[in-house]
Structure 1
Amino acid sequence: MGSIKRRIPLLIASGFVLVVVYAGFIGMRSMQLIVPHDGMMPPSAKSCLLEGVAGNDAGDAPRVIDYLVHVDDRPYDVIVIGGKAFEFTLHGVVLRSPEDQQINLNQSLIEVPETGEGALHFSYVSEGANRASPRVFLVERSYADELFQLSRDLRMICLGALLALALYSLVLFLSKRTERYLLSSFMYAILLFLWVLLLFAHPPAAYSDTLALARQFLNITTLLLSLHIGCELLSLPLPQCLRTFLATPRYIIAVGLISLIISSMFEMGLIVLQYFWAVATIGVGLFALLRIQRKNFALTTVFFLTQVMRANSSLFLFLSLNDSLWYSLFVTAPAFDLPCLLGYMIAINKKFAKKFEDAEDLAARLDEKVELRTRQLQLQQAQKHQLMLNVFHDLRSPLFVLSHIVQSGEKDDRALVEHLPVLKERVSFMTSLVNDLFMIAKLEIGKVLFSSDVIDLGKLLEDVVAAPRVNSAGETIAIELRSVEDCRVEGDRVRLSQAFGNLVDNAAAYSEETPVQVTMAIDAEHASINVFVADSGPGLTEEEIAMVFDQYYCKDRSSTSKSTGLGLSIARSVILHHEGTIRVESTVGQGTTFIVSLPLL
């Protein structure tokens, strides 16, 4: 519903543009002078549409249309549009016969002999399949020359635009063959180029029917190709079968040939096909209009207007636009394709510009990711190097102590007994260090096996805090637990005990006399349980908080420290494996709180 509301202003604007354009064409039509049979052409008029009186119209007999108009002594020409004149006479004298050449497949220009002021009596004769009534215009000769020159100029502009589109589409298609609409654009431009060339043709009467069929084939194929290009550039969500059909040139050519056969074999076939393609064209144009987007507003409007212009002669006869000489010359140029051609070229250019922009953005993002990954690898390498140095340092110090004790014991057995507590403490430290290093290595490569049990977190924490803890000075630190009854989570009991044990050990190490506070609180909004482990130590700065979970980070790296610097990193990995979170809040001089959140069952 929201997308429809956003399209309403665009639909209104597009509809306004269409109304203005068609109002202009209707204005052309209303300005066209129509002279009835036996009427007078005003001296100030430069052109008029003649109304004829049909004669014999029975069976296959030649059809005769008579025109009678009274004129002044100016020189005139007759322009016949929309019909092939089989014979055209003035006062019984043949002005045009089947052996004459047409101006082109759509228009005939017949020079009227100068007879002075008086009545002109024309007769138009057609037979066989060419029984449609043409539009006959009487035009002042100088004005007719201007109109035909304008028509030729429009066709030359069309030829230039079509050639540019063909070359542009071909070059892009050869560079990126996955864009199938570019092939359709190339074929569309080439076929329409041939169509416009046919409009320049001066066919003998014997070949005019064949060329007319060729034009019919070009009309259908260019219509389908134009629909394919427009649908792709406007990103219309067509069914896959229809999209495949429009993207396959041989299917389009086959449809054009079938339509050509039907229209040549059946007299009503051409009319039926014209109506069918007109309705289909308008349907696609309306669909595009209903799917209009702000970025494609201009192209959608031009696309729909072009399709309406194509269907005008079949569906909008009631507007009588073809009665306007200007409109007829405009359509037969065919100048109505020019805005659509320019729209296609601009849209293709914008689409490829967007692809290039996306490619540049992607390349920039990849460069950033490569640079970031390089920095991360360099940092990891530096951290591993520092880790190795720390391990070597922490192993060397107790080994040095052990070596000294052993040397002392060789000289005096009492020295060995005297230093036995130190020996035990250093061996315990080395054992913890090796175990933590082994645990970290297994966590990094995913070799740690986690069981999945239902755990009462309150009882697990009671077991964790039951063991006595000492601070860095060797003093026993009390642990106070505020638990929540019947609080169950799912996870590995041993690993969670290890994680919370590491947090409590860390808090105890930095506490002096105040007990370590372990508090549980249920977060009903997020269906989780929060565990707060708070100490009263010196606290952490912002820089220290950012490094607190790094491997081998320790606030106190003195030789007397019992911390391996790996406990918090192990705790974080275990908590994250249980789909939990862990964060730190600290104030310098007031202590530190670790907050663990685990999902409740």
Structure 2
Amino acid sequence: MNRGRTLNIQMVFLVFYIMISSGVLTGVFFLFLFAIGILPIPRLAPILYPLVALLVSSIIGTSISAVASERVLKPLNQLIKATKVVATGDFSVRVEEINGHSEVGNLIKNFNHMVEELGSIEMFRNGFINDFSHEFKTPIVSIRGFAKQLQNDNLSPEKRKEYTDIIISESERLANMSANVLLLNKFENQQIITNKTEYELDEQIRDCVILLEKQWSKKNIEINLDLEPIKIYSNQEMLSHLFINLIENAIKYTNDNGHISICCHEAVDGIQFKISDDGNGMDENTKKRIFDKFFQGDKSHAVKGNGLGLSIVKRIVELCKGDIVVESEISKGTTFIVKLPKS
């Protein structure tokens, strides 16, 4: 039985209770008047007493209804006032919850939870706008500054090349950030996975490692692979974004001459992909926010990035109905564990 129907039944019982209470109290009232002799037992004008009884019953019923409605409808009136406040964009309002497991109590509880979630979304939206504006503004300011320097006729060839390289680097950063924002927006608006095919997952992971060879070779990082032959039925392009982002993230935060291990094998409940590095690791606060948009654990921004890669990874895992866990300790490295269904 749904909650709306249950609420209707409760209202029926309330009205029935008021009617019975009114009738009983009216009967007791008349019996009392008969008993003490104020009213004679009706023999003449029999229609008179029913009319008086109806009037008395109406007065008693109205009084009981007024008291009951005040008690029953008070939380609903508070809820109506709160919804008007929420409609103005204020998500700080809360309705006082009532004890018990009534439908009105559940309604108020769910309303408070909804407003809390809306407040979190609003804070997240404002934070996203601020972070995006900052990340977008920084390279533009840098490009503009070095472009002005290039207009100096007395600039040496070495400095001119240095400034040109910086402009190219910042332009690539803007392009990558724009591409990642569009990609993340695409995945966030997507609810189901399309274009599924069956393919060799282990070969896909090897291809992703090879694609990033220039980056890990530059830092002389040793890559250790332990991949079982696994077939998966999924969107190959989508999972490529997942593996590339995780591997690239491990390369960024692994020191020169470091080690990265990548393993993938079939588990009882699906497929488990695990990537570990021996980098600097993360503290607890960073671990909690690692999947937030534009969040970067490296406050100095010494490592290139825009804080969107792991947000994309998280969304892809959600679309795949999988799970991702991060394990990390300061100075001991980081491990990402991804569990995916086979299909």
TM-score bracket relative to the smaller structure: 0.5 to 0.7
The 1:564/1:177 distance shift into structure 2, 3 A limit, reads same
Contact 1:583 1:594 (8 Å CA) reproduced? yes
Q: Given residue 596 of structure 1, which amino acid in structure 2 is its aligned partner?
A: V
Higher relative contact order (CA 8 A, sep 6+): 2
Q: Which residue of 2 aligns with 1:550?
A: 292
- The answer for unaligned runs of 5 or more in structure 1 is 1-175, 212-344
Q: Structure 1 residue 552: deviation in Å?
A: 1.2
The 1:502/1:203 distance shift into structure 2, 3 A limit, reads closer
Write out aligned runs for 1:192-203 (5 A): 192-193=27-28, 196=31, 200=35
The 1:497/1:551 distance shift into structure 2, 3 A limit, reads same
Give me the whole-angstrom Cα distance separating, in 1, the residues matched to 2:127 and 2:216.
Answer: 29
1:182-225 superposed Cα distances (whole Å, 9 cap, x missing partner)? 34314541674488479859769xx6xxx9xxxxxxxxxxxxxx
Q: Structure 1 residue 383: deviation in Å?
A: 3.9
1:548-577 superposed Cα distances (whole Å, 9 cap, x missing partner)? 111111223546532122111111111111
Give me the whole-angstrom Cα distance separating, in 1, the residues matched to 2:151 and 2:130.
Answer: 32
Equivalenced residue count is 285
Give me the whole-angstrom Cα distance separating, in 2, the residues matched to 1:409 and 1:433.
Answer: 33
Q: Given residue 249 of structure 2, which amino acid in structure 1 is its aligned partner?
A: N
Contact 2:293 2:307 (8 Å CA) reproduced? yes
**Match for 2:201 among 454, 457, 462?**
457
Which secondary structure state, in structure 1, belongs to the residue aligned with residue 305 of structure 2?
coil
The 1:469/1:402 distance shift into structure 2, 3 A limit, reads farther
Give me the whole-angstrom Cα distance separating, in 1, the residues matched to 2:166 and 2:72.
Answer: 74
Once structures 1 and 2 are overlaid, which stretch shifts more, 474-483 or 507-516?
474-483
Q: Which residue of 2 aligns with 1:315?
A: none
Which secondary structure state, in structure 1, belongs to the residue aligned with residue 151 of structure 2?
helix
Give me the whole-angstrom Cα distance separating, in 2, the residues matched to 1:409 and 1:477.
Answer: 42
Give me the whole-angstrom Cα distance separating, in 2, the residues matched to 1:504 and 1:474.
Answer: 15
Give me the whole-angstrom Cα distance separating, in 1, the residues matched to 2:18 and 2:244.
Answer: 69
Q: Given residue 304 of structure 2, which amino acid in structure 1 is its aligned partner?
A: K
Q: Which residue of 2 aligns with 1:184?
A: 19
Q: Structure 1 residue 537: deviation in Å?
A: 0.5
* 1:580 maps to 2:322: yes
* 1:486 maps to 2:227: no
Q: Which residue of 2 aligns with 1:562?
A: 304
Q: Structure 1 residue 392: deviation in Å?
A: 1.0
The 1:407/1:590 distance shift into structure 2, 3 A limit, reads same
Q: Given residue 182 of structure 1, which amino acid in structure 2 is its aligned partner?
A: Y
Q: Given residue 501 of structure 1, which amino acid in structure 2 is its aligned partner?
A: I
1:350-370 superposed Cα distances (whole Å, 9 cap, x missing partner)? xx6899735578547645653
Normalising by structure 2, report the TM-score.
0.66
Give me the whole-angstrom Cα distance separating, in 2, the residues matched to 1:506 and 1:477.
Answer: 13
* 1:508 maps to 2:251: yes
1:33-61 superposed Cα distances (whole Å, 9 cap, x missing partner)? xxxxxxxxxxxxxxxxxxxxxxxxxxxxx
Q: Which residue of 2 aligns with 1:70?
A: none
Contact 2:321 2:340 (8 Å CA) reproduced? yes
Q: Given residue 394 of structure 1, which amino acid in structure 2 is its aligned partner?
A: P
Which secondary structure state, in structure 2, belongs to the residue aligned with residue 516 of structure 1?
strand
Q: Which residue of 1 aligns with 2:51?
A: none
**Match for 1:389 among 93, 116, 134?**
134
Give me the whole-angstrom Cα distance separating, in 2, the residues matched to 1:379 and 1:423.
Answer: 31
Q: Given residue 179 of structure 1, which amino acid in structure 2 is its aligned partner?
A: L
Aligned-pair identity in percent equals 19
Contact 1:472 1:561 (8 Å CA) reproduced? no
Contact 1:469 1:478 (8 Å CA) reproduced? no
Which secondary structure state, in structure 1, belongs to the residue aligned with residue 334 of structure 2?
strand
The 1:499/1:363 distance shift into structure 2, 3 A limit, reads same
Which secondary structure state, in structure 2, belongs to the residue aligned with residue 179 of structure 1?
helix
Contact 1:547 1:553 (8 Å CA) reproduced? yes
Q: Which residue of 1 aligns with 2:276?
A: 534
Give me the whole-angstrom Cα distance separating, in 2, the residues matched to 1:449 and 1:393.
Answer: 35
Contact 2:271 2:340 (8 Å CA) reproduced? yes
Once structures 1 and 2 are overlaid, which stretch shifts more, 581-590 or 410-419?
410-419
Give me the whole-angstrom Cα distance separating, in 1, the residues matched to 2:245 and 2:207.
Answer: 13
Q: Structure 1 residue 398: deviation in Å?
A: 4.4
**Match for 1:597 among 330, 339, 342?**
339
Contact 1:458 1:486 (8 Å CA) reproduced? yes
Q: Given residue 175 of structure 2, which amino acid in structure 1 is its aligned partner?
A: T
Give me the whole-angstrom Cα distance separating, in 1, the residues matched to 2:136 and 2:178.
Answer: 9
Normalising by structure 1, report the TM-score.
0.40
Query: How much is the aligned-residue C-alpha RMSD, in angstroms?
Result: 4.3
**Match for 2:262 among 518, 522, 531?**
518
Give me the whole-angstrom Cα distance separating, in 2, the residues matched to 1:417 and 1:364.
Answer: 63
Contact 1:408 1:415 (8 Å CA) reproduced? no
Q: Which residue of 1 aligns with 2:81?
A: none
Q: Structure 1 residue 541: deviation in Å?
A: 0.4
The 1:418/1:186 distance shift into structure 2, 3 A limit, reads closer
Q: Structure 1 residue 453: deviation in Å?
A: 2.7
Contact 1:471 1:510 (8 Å CA) reproduced? no
Give me the whole-angstrom Cα distance separating, in 2, the residues matched to 1:564 and 1:396.
Answer: 16
The 1:579/1:401 distance shift into structure 2, 3 A limit, reads farther
Give me the whole-angstrom Cα distance separating, in 2, the residues matched to 1:470 and 1:541.
Answer: 29
Greater gyration radius: 1
Q: Which residue of 2 aligns with 1:253?
A: none
The 1:484/1:199 distance shift into structure 2, 3 A limit, reads farther
Give me the whole-angstrom Cα distance separating, in 2, the residues matched to 1:447 and 1:360.
Answer: 32
Q: Structure 1 residue 544: deviation in Å?
A: 0.7
Write out aligned runs for 1:99-248 (5 A): 179-186=14-21, 188-189=23-24, 192-193=27-28, 196=31, 200=35
Contact 2:196 2:235 (8 Å CA) reproduced? yes
Give me the whole-angstrom Cα distance separating, in 1, the residues matched to 2:220 and 2:194.
Answer: 32
